[in-house]
Amino acid sequence: MAATYSASEMMIVTAARALAGVRTVFVGVGLPNVACNLARRTVAPDLELIYESGVYGARPARLPLSIGDPTLVSGALSVCSMVDLFGLYLQGGRIEVAFLGGAQIDRFGNMNTTVIGGYDRPKVRLPGSGGACEIATNAQQVFIVMRLGRRSFVERLDFVTSPGHLGGGAERAALGLPGGGPQVVVTDKCVMGFDPASREMTVVSLHPGVTWEAVQAEVGWDLRAAADVQETPPPGTDELRLLREELDPGGMYTQ
């Protein structure tokens, strides 16, 4: 009998599997943190976790409360100043994959974490960039983890905080951005990639039991599908056991 699992567990396991073979990952807090730690225990044993707080090669002994949790420091390979972290590691091109999320994303993977509404009189003032703008600019690849929803997958962003593929096509490369931009979007209902020519988000796989209509209903533009839409493989019993017993025993992110 297949194991039962939550939508969050599906997202985390799928994000972790996307890291197969990766060596350096820039980790955000929350779901990406759990996904990266799961990947290190499964598909990417050589994975080094890098946090914008200045930590390289973290081995957190507990689920970090934030990207600045002291558990990320104890036992890490290196802890450096933030000018070194952003200058030497990120801008120096050493980050293979960075995880990002945001309040809003558009079809080209541009993201908004700054405001809902106008900048000067915002309806909702969001946290802002943090390191997201330079991470989106410099990481070799960006993986995005976000729940689907019409308020977040929008036709037009209220504010572009972090550049994705900009207006699509070759715009990103033409502007001279060093990193390759968004490659994968893992959601609670499907996985999306980006068309190699147009750079538009395309559905690559639907999670088990999810219909195309259910996905389209949560997205604010007419979604495109990749040539051959697959079913996302469900989480395995080993992955679920690691998540539930070791990585997030309190179920903070997995339920």
Partner 1 sequence: MTNDEMTKVMGMKEAMAAYVHDGDTVAIEGFTACICFAAAHEIMRQGRCDLTLCRMTPDLIYDQMVAAGCARKLVFSYLGNPGVGSLHAIRRAVEKGIPAPLEIEEYSHFGMVGRYTAGAYRLPFFPLRSYAGSDLPQANPRIRSVESPYGDGSIAVVPPLNPDVAILHAQRADRNGNAQLWGLLGVQKEAAFAARHVVVVVEEIVDEAVIRSDPNRTAIPSLVVDAVVHEPHGAHPSYVQGYYDRDNDFYLAWDEASRDEAQTRAWLDEWVYGVADRASYLEKLPPDAWKRLAAGEAWAEGVNYGRYV
Residues that bind partner 1 (CB under 8 A): 29, 52-55, 64-70, 73-75, 79-83, 86-87, 90-91, 110, 114, 119, 121-134, 137-138, 159-163, 166, 172, 175-178
Question: Shortest Cβ distance from residue 157 to partner 1 (Å)?
Answer: 8
Q: Which of 9, 48, 52, 239 is catalytic?
A: 52
Question: Shortest Cβ distance from residue 100 to partner 1 (Å)?
Answer: 13
> Could you tell me where the DSSP H helices lie in 117-242?
132-138, 171-174, 212-216, 237-241
Nearer to partner 1, 163 or 234 (CB): 163
- C-alpha distances out from residue 143 to 126, 140, 241, Å: 21, 10, 24
- Please, are residues 239 and 173 in contact by the beta-carbon 8 Å criterion? no
Say whether 52 is catalytic: yes
Nearer to partner 1, 169 or 236 (CB): 169
For residue 161, with 0-12 CB atoms within 10 Å meaning exposed, 13-18 middle and 19 or more buried, which class applies?
buried
Nearer to partner 1, 10 or 98 (CB): 98
Q: What token pair was written down for 140?
A: 């070799």
Nearer to partner 1, 54 or 235 (CB): 54
Residues 6+ positions from 116 with CB-CB distance below 8 Å? 103, 104, 122, 123, 124, 126, 158
- Please, are residues 85 and 54 in contact by the beta-carbon 8 Å criterion? yes
Nearer to partner 1, 7 or 73 (CB): 73
Give the bridge partners for 162, in sequence order: 111
Helix axes 31-41, 7-17, angle to 10 degrees: 50
Identify the sign of the CA torsion 232, 238, 241, 244. Answer: negative
Question: Shortest Cβ distance from residue 212 to partner 1 (Å)?
Answer: 31
Question: Shortest Cβ distance from residue 129 to partner 1 (Å)?
Answer: 4
CA distance 6 to 3: 10
Question: Shortest Cβ distance from residue 148 to partner 1 (Å)?
Answer: 21
Q: What token pair was written down for 6?
A: 């939550």
Catalytic residue ranges = 52
